[in-house]
Amino acid sequence: MKKLVIFGVGLIGGSLALALKRALPGLHIVGIGRSGESLQTALDLGVIDAIASRPEQAIADADIAVIAAPVAQTPAILQLIAPHLGPGTIITDVGSTKSDVIAHARASLGDSFPRFVPGHPIAGAEQSGVTAARADLFEGRNIVLTPEPETDQRAVNLVRDMWRKTGANVVDMSASHHDNIFAAVSHLPHLLAFALVDDLASRLNAEELFNFAASGFRDFTRIAGSSPEMWRDISLANRTALLSEIDAYQQSLATLRHLLESRDGQGLQTMFERASQARNAWAYQQSKKSS
């Protein structure tokens, strides 16, 4: 790989650039995006080597093109690059939803679709933008690839190798399975955090409430500091799976409300113990992976 083009040089795109620069010193990385100021910052910080003034020229001789923009921008980017892709250029993305992205790619890329490798790095931070990018963001993290039956195996292997060079673990699964999993363990928690903070912020005594909020509130709501634009797009893109998860969570809340109304202390303790044991077991496995 000699040339990489990144659409959207923010936290994920910028971190990928930094990680690959560390692993492949001769790699030439070109940035494309909506904000000239952000791209200039990425250039000044040494995250990218050049800014593309004409995306169609940049993409023509690229080895891999990475779409790292918010998922709502992906259809327009796919349409933009489709007529200009070189015969060997591989396309991949980093979006948190996969079924919708694959549908857009299939509609836009035509004969180039087999060289599209859908991907999702399971990494991030509450801060966004290229100034938050760091070379070690993907070390020990999972990267999910969701290739389709017609996806070219060489393209899959090259994208897999690219992510492994960042220190990540790469796993494959179907797009629908991916979307259902992440609706439950990522997208729903973000919605809950946003909803709680929004609820408290809209109350007349919001200032008093936030003044007394401490570590429990901080830990639960940390992800509400994430990019609103990005999470708006993810929520809409994974709407069907998220609606099912919200329904399931409302059932759990209904059970909790019933236990409180009936003063069922044993029922509450049983519920809390089950959750506590599951959370601690998960945290233990995470600590083993990182040690």
- Condensed to tens digits (0 to 9), the pLDDT of residues 208-238 reads 999 999 999 999 999 998 889 889 989 999 9
pLDDT of 133 reads 92
pLDDT in tens, 94-121: 999 999 999 999 999 999 999 999 999 9
Domains in the chain, please, with CATH? 3-173 (3.40.50.720), 177-290 (1.10.3660.10)
Q: What is the mean pLDDT of residues 24-31?
A: 94
Report field, pTM of the whole predicted structure over 0.75: yes
**Model confidence over 253-264: pLDDT tens digits?**
999 999 999 999
How far apart, in Å, are the Cα atoms of 63 and each of 24, 37, 148, 159, 162?
A: 14, 26, 20, 10, 11
Q: Is the dihedral of CA 29, 30, 35, 40 positive or negative?
A: positive
Mean pLDDT score, 37-62: 89
Of 18-22, 31-35, 43-47, 184-188, the poorest mean pLDDT is in 31-35
